[in-house]
Each structure stands twice: as C-alpha cells, then as structure tokens.
Amino acid sequence: MTTLNYYTAAGSETDVNVFPSASAAKAAEEQEARLGDAHDRRKGNVLYSGGGAAERAVVACLSR
C-alpha cells in the first residue's frame, strides 16, 4: 500500500491510500467501518478522503 497526504496552509488534509487490488481496498474500507472511522470513499483500489482541491484532483485522475 502507498499513502499520500496533502496538507494545505489552512490546515486541511487530504489522504489517499493506494492498495494493490480493489479487494484489498474494500477490506480496508470495511475494517474502518467496523472501527467507526468510515469517512473514506473508494474507487477501485484507492481510498481517499479530505475534500478540497487535492481530492478533486484525485477523483479526476481516477475517473479517466
């Protein structure tokens, strides 16, 4: 897994986690839900959260 963290000067953060497979990302998403930390969104093998311009860029790349 690879994790990217984008921080802004205003203090916001966008996290991106790239897993080796969609099933691994889904398993991680389900584990977060069991822990009560289910705020990530998933597209294929990527979990992301945080909003803002960085998240919009991630979504645009994943939508290609």
- Encode pLDDT of 7-46 as tens digits: 988 888 999 999 999 999 999 999 988 888 778 899 999 9
Give the rounded percent of residues in the chain with a pLDDT score beyond 90: 67
Contacts of 1 (CB under 8 A, 6+ apart): 17, 18, 19, 20, 24, 28
Residue 64 and residue 21: Cα distance in Å, rounded? 18
pTM: 0.86
pLDDT of residue 20: 98
Q: What sections of the chain are H helices per DSSP?
A: 22-34, 52-62
C-alpha separations of 26 from 9, 19, 42 in Å: 31, 9, 8
Torsion of CA 63, 4, 2, 64, to 10 degrees: 10
Mean residue pLDDT across the chain: 91
